[in-house]
A and B are shown apart, each in its own frame.
Chain A
Amino acid sequence: KAGVTQTPRYLIKTRGQQVTLSCSPISGHRSVSWYQQTPGQGLQFLFEYFSETQRNKGNFPGRFSGRQFSNSRSEMNVSTLELGDSALYLCASGHPGSTQYFGPGTRLTVL
C-alpha cells in the first residue's frame, strides 16, 4: 500500500504571497490531519478533515485554511505568508479512532 504523499516537497515563497500544499492519504483513509513542525514550537496540530468536513482546528490564525475533496485528498492554504510560517508541514492520515501515519512533509521557506 502506498504511503501518504505530499507535494511539493520543497517550496520557497516571499512574504505576502500565498501557498497551497497537497496531501494524498493512504488508500482507504478518510481522516486527514495537518501539523506544523518548527524547531521552536515542535509539532503543532493545524486541523483535521473527515469526509470533506473540517472536524477540528488548532490554535492558528485564519490565514491557515484547508479543505478535503471527495477522494479524501486534502489541501492546505496559507495566505499572506509571514517569515514565521517557515516550517515543515506534515500531513497524516488514518481511520477514525486509529493511529495516524505521516507523509514526508513539505518544507516551506518564506523569505
Chain B
Amino acid sequence: GQQLNQSPQSMFIQEGEDVSMNCTSSSIFNTWLWYKQEPGEGPVLLIALYKAGELTSNGRLTAQFGITRKDSFLNISASIPSDVGIYFCAGQQIWPQGGSEKLVFGKGTKLTVNP
C-alpha cells in the first residue's frame, strides 16, 4: 500500500539534545499529522497541521506542513527520557468520491533517549 518516506528510521540521542525527523511524499495531502506510539499502545496524536506552510507547536514539539503539501517535519527540543517511543507521520487524504478520509503512514522513527 501507499506509504510516506519517513526518516530517520531510528535515533539514539542524549537527554537534552534536540531531535528532528521528517516525512516526504510524492502525493499531496490536505492534512499532516504526527503521532507517538509506545509499546502495547495505539498511536497518540501529537500535532495536527491543516494548512500548507503552517508551523505549530505543542510544548517542546514543533511541526511544519510543507509549502508543497508533500512533506512535513517534527522537531523535539531538549529531549527527556519519556520522549522514547516510535513517532509516525501521517498524511490525510480526501477520497475522490468525497467525504471520507484515510491516513497514509510513514514507517516510523524509533527514538531512544539516553539519560
Contacts and interface: CB of A to CB of B under 8 A. Distances in A.
Interface residue range, chain B: 20 to 34
Interface centre among A33, A48, A97 (most CB of B within 10 A): A97
A105 interface: yes
A43 B90 CA distance: 10
Contact of A42 (B45, B92, B108): B108
B42 A56 contact: no
A90 B1 contact: no
Contacts of A99: 31, 33, 45, 48, 92
Contacts of B88: 43
Given A41-B1, A45-B1, A55-B95, A100 B42 contact: no
Interface stretch (B16-24, B61-69, B70-78, B96-104): B96-104
A96 B107 CA distance: 25
Given A43-B88, A90-B42, A105-B41, A100 B1 contact: no
Contacts of B94: 97
A44 interface: yes
A42 B101 contact: no
Contacts of A97: 94, 99, 101
Nearest to B42: A102
Q: Which 3 A-B pairs rank lowest in CB-CB distance, beginning with the nearest?
A: A102-B42, A43-B105, A55-B100
16 contacts: A6-B42, A31-B101, A42-B3, A42-B107, A43-B88, A43-B103, A48-B102, A50-B99, A55-B100, A58-B1, A90-B42, A92-B42, A97-B94, A99-B33, A100-B92, A102-B42
Interface of A: 4, 6, 31, 33, 35, 41-45, 48, 50, 55-56, 58-59, 90, 92, 94, 96-97, 99-105, 107
Given A92-B42, A104-B40, A105-B42, 12 more contacts: A31-B100, A35-B103, A41-B1, A43-B105, A45-B1, A50-B99, A50-B100, A55-B100, A58-B1, A90-B42, A100-B103, A102-B35
